[in-house]
Amino acid sequence: MSEQKTVRFIITRQDNPNSTPYQEEFELPIFGRYGNSNSTPYQEEFELPYRPNMNVISSLMEIRRNPVNAKGEKTTAVTWDMNCLEEVCGACSMVINGKPRQSCSALVDKLEQPIRLEPMRTFPVIRDLQVDRSRMFDSLKKVKAWIPIDGTYDLGEGPRMPEKKRQWAYELSKCMTCGVCLEACPNVNSKSNFIGPAPLSQVRLFNSHPTGAMNKDERLEAIMGDGGLANCGNSQNCVQSCPKGIPLTTSIASLNRATTFQMFKNFFGSDHMVD
């Protein structure tokens, strides 16, 4: 009788939330909600029976169903975020074998064993593989990553976007705020308040919209200050790691041009608008 094939996981765990240097240096209240508990990360190994078509999420569900580690010891269930399980919501981001990615689309058959799971360290860890991505969401608020339409409903249909522009704007709209590009970017770290590639690309997306362009200057001003476009080191890690293949570096290059014109506009007081 042949021995049953198994899958080994080494999971970096953390029992309590931990304060980060980012919180302490920039004093952002979003990370203060968990207090200053210093919980030391540790690794725990698990072994599961192999099944065809296993992915990381289904494996974590199996561990949660029967939380017994590789030593045969009863332990606590592993915590992580998930929602759609279809690589649409972006919630299940984690570092898998050293690479940030979506765990719902990470197939066990295509991963080297032991499979190492770690939380994204760009964000504060809440517990185990679960992180607080408020840093990214607050950056989206900073750049006003939406189209304000309150009070416009009685004006009829808004202007239509040209088809050529709509096609590339659709590619930018695929962003699911997963945080993978921020984790991959060396300029987004505990010593920097750089907003990261995803919020920058959203500036280009909403500035390209005929109605969103009403707030174009406001968005450009938001990324011209500290933590904005100038903090990008052009490592291009973001575009290589994006699970949706969004042309992030193309957006950043376009924004460099747009902010240059915005700077001249501010200096000379011109009303000239540049797409």
Indicate whether 139 and 108 sit together in one domain. Answer: no
Q: Which of 113, 132, 151 is the last residue of a domain?
A: 132
In a domain, 198, yes or no: yes
The count of domains in the chain is: 2
The count of other CB atoms within 10 Å of the CB of residue 96 is: 18
Q: What pLDDT sits at residue 268?
A: 84
Indicate whether 73 and 154 sit together in one domain. Answer: no
Indicate whether 98 and 162 sit together in one domain. Answer: no
In a domain, 275, yes or no: no
In a domain, 1, yes or no: no
116: β partners? 10
127: β partners? 130
What separation in angstroms does the CA of 244 have from each of 177, 247, 256?
A: 11, 9, 23
Q: Which domain holds residue 144?
A: 135-268
Indicate whether 65 and 156 sit together in one domain. Answer: no
In a domain, 177, yes or no: yes
Give the list of residues 6+ apart from residue 249 with CB closer than 8 angstroms, or none: 234, 236, 238, 239
Distance CA 28, CA 21 (A): 11
Give the list of residues 6+ apart from residue 11 with CB closer than 8 angstroms, or none: 43, 44, 45, 46, 78, 116, 117, 118, 128, 129
Q: Which of 76, 97, 132 is the last residue of a domain?
A: 132
Indicate whether 11 and 90 sit together in one domain. Answer: yes
Indicate whether 140 and 250 sit together in one domain. Answer: yes
Q: Which of 91, 115, 132 is the last residue of a domain?
A: 132
Indicate whether 250 and 163 sit together in one domain. Answer: yes
Residue found under tokens 């999420």: 57
Q: What pLDDT sits at residue 143?
A: 96
In a domain, 148, yes or no: yes
Identity of residue 120: M
168: exposed, middle or buried (Cβ count in 10 Å: 0-12, 13-18, 19+): middle
Q: What pLDDT sits at residue 97?
A: 98
In a domain, 179, yes or no: yes
Indicate whether 26 and 123 sit together in one domain. Answer: yes
Q: Cβ(94)–Cβ(119) under 8 Å?
A: yes
The candidate with the shortest Cα–Cα distance to 145, out of 216, 251, 233, 88, is: 216
CA dihedral sign, ordered 20, 22, 25, 28: negative
What pTM was estimated for this model as a whole? 0.86
Q: What pLDDT sits at residue 155?
A: 75
CATH, residue 164: 1.10.1060.10
Q: What pLDDT sits at residue 126?
A: 95
The candidate with the shortest Cα–Cα distance to 220, out of 248, 242, 192, 199, is: 199
CATH, residue 83: 3.10.20.30
Q: What pLDDT sits at residue 37?
A: 52
In a domain, 274, yes or no: no
Tokens encoding 96 = 């898998």
In a domain, 180, yes or no: yes
Indicate whether 180 and 74 sit together in one domain. Answer: no
Report cis status (omega within 30 of 0) of the bond before 49: no
Tens of pLDDT, residue by residue, the chain (275 residues): 457 899 999 999 999 986 554 344 434 333 334 444 567 999 999 999 999 999 999 999 999 999 999 999 999 999 999 999 999 999 999 999 999 999 999 999 999 999 999 999 999 999 999 999 999 999 999 999 998 887 777 777 778 888 989 999 999 999 999 999 999 999 998 888 999 999 999 999 999 999 899 899 999 999 999 999 999 999 999 999 999 999 999 999 999 999 999 999 888 876 554 44
Task: Identify the three-state secondary structure at position 236.
Answer: coil
Q: What pLDDT sits at residue 267?
A: 85
Indicate whether 23 and 128 sit together in one domain. Answer: yes
Indicate whether 172 and 239 sit together in one domain. Answer: yes
Indicate whether 177 and 199 sit together in one domain. Answer: yes
Q: What pLDDT sits at residue 270?
A: 60
